[in-house]
């Protein structure tokens, strides 16, 4: 799942039910259709913290393989008796996490 700034707005503002983006500005409304004031610096800061997810799944130097391929790796590791850190599934996932670490 790609993390977008809209996701962050929903995370930070539990009363928001609608987020709109016109290409330059985000606006939000609550369930009564009242405008909700958004602190975009807080949104940007949280987005930066969570952007590692996008890098691991879509745009990083090393990304996760498809779920089907990962299941294939896991199956092959089970058959080979390598359901540990030496199996292809574990090696692949460790490489992605190492290349795109989660911020502290």
Closest listed residue to residue 38, CA positions, set 48, 47, 29? 29
Domain boundaries, the chain: 1-50, 65-104
Q: What is the pLDDT of residue 33?
A: 96
The reported pTM is 0.63
Q: Mean pLDDT for each 10-residue chunk of the chain (104 residues)? A: 90 96 96 96 92 79 88 96 95 91 80
| Cα–Cα distances in angstroms (integers) from residue 85 to residues 6, 88, 96, 99, in the given order | 36, 8, 14, 17
β partners of residue 21: 26
Q: What is the pLDDT of residue 68?
A: 95
């Amino acid at each position: 799942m790609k993390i977008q700034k809209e996701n962050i707005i929903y995370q930070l503002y539990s009363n928001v039910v609608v987020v709109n983006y016109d290409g330059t500005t985000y606006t939000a409304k609550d369930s009564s259709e009242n405008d909700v004031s958004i602190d975009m610096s807080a949104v940007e800061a949280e987005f930066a913290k969570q952007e590692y997810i996008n890098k691991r799944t879509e745009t990083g130097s090393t990304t996760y393989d498809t779920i089907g391929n990962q299941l294939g790796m896991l199956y092959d590791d089970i058959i080979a008796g390598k359901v540990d850190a030496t199996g292809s599934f574990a090696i692949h996932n460790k490489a992605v996490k190492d290349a795109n670490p989660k911020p502290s």
